[in-house]
């Protein structure tokens, strides 16, 4: 499994030290059971969308908070497991990557849509304008996801390191800490506050503000990097 890991560059501490190790255990179990990477992706989708449905349909409570968080966290761990399993089985493919990204995009949009439904059905909001909050958060989250994905695809791939060259520098711990507020696993933690309307609204709003700030910073960085690329 060690050889089936992605680089830790640009990854937050949560994903590096919690989600990926959990995904490693799940990938090993899936390998022993003979599951394919596509099947693991669908298991991830099942847990994630079960949590989304519970959020939209259930009245907020501490029990619902635990159930929603657990579903999202387990789904996120399986989301890490499918790629590790594919690399372990040497079955990485464009179709598998496409399916993984489609599920991720659907999960992001559906989760914030479920928050909007919950706000409308169950929350005593200070005013109707607060219903725009999940829509704004959804927009910021989708732009961060698609912007980062496209930037990575459009950048020229680095040539493999030649034998005998110095190893790549270790990932920045400061950067991995700074990325925590926009890590999906950290975002899932806010749903543990669903038992208190005021606490959840405050936590969700704070994370929205952080995502907007990171979106501005990421967009400027990605555009600057892509502008520097000279056509061949």
Q: What are phi and psi of 148, to 5 degrees?
A: -65, -40
Section 75-101 average pLDDT:
91
- Residues 77, 80: Cα–Cα separation, whole Å: 5
Residue ranges covered by each domain of the chain: 2-154+172-227
Phi first, then psi, for residue 72 (nearest 5°) are -65, -40
pLDDT of residue 67: 97
CB 65 within 8 A of CB 191: yes
User: Binning pLDDT at 50, 70 and 90, where does residue 28 land?
Assistant: very high
Measured between alpha carbons, how far is 122 from 59 in angstroms, rounded to an integer?
A: 6
Give the pLDDT confidence score for residue 14 in this predicted structure: 84
pLDDT band at 33 (very low <50, low <70, confident <90, very high): very high
Q: Are 65 and 194 in contact, with CB atoms under 8 Å apart?
A: yes
Q: What is the pTM of this model?
A: 0.89
- The Cα 188–Cα 190 span in angstroms is 5
Q: Give the Cα separation of 52 and 48 in Å (integer).
A: 6
User: pLDDT tens, 208-226?
Assistant: 999 999 999 999 999 999 9
Q: What is the CATH number of domain 2-154+172-227?
A: 1.20.120.1760
What's the chain's average pLDDT? 89
């Amino acid at each position: 499994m060690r050889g089936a890991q992605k680089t830790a560059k640009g990854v937050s501490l949560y994903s590096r030290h919690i989600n990926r190790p959990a995904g490693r255990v799940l990938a090993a179990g899936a390998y022993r059971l003979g599951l394919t990477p596509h099947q693991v992706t669908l298991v991830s989708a099942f847990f994630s969308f079960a949590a989304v449905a519970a959020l939209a349909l259930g009245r907020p409570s501490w029990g619902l908070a635990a159930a929603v968080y657990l579903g999202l966290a387990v789904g996120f761990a399986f989301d890490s497991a499918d790629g590790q399993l594919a690399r372990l089985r040497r079955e990485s493919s464009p179709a598998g990557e496409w399916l993984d990204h489609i599920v991720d995009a659907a999960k992001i949009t559906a989760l914030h849509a479920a928050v909007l439904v919950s706000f409308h059905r169950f929350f005593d909001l200070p005013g109707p304008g607060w219903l725009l909050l999940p829509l704004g958060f959804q927009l910021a989250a989708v732009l961060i996801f698609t912007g980062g994905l496209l930037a990575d695809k459009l950048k020229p791939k680095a040539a493999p390191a030649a034998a005998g060259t110095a190893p790549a520098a270790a990932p920045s711990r400061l950067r991995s800490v700074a990325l925590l507020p926009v890590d999906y696993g950290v975002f899932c933690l806010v749903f543990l506050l669903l038992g208190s309307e005021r606490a959840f609204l405050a936590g969700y709003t704070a994370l929205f503000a952080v995502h907007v700030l990171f979106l501005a910073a990421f967009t400027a960085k990605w555009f600057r990097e892509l502008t520097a690329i000279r056509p061949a």
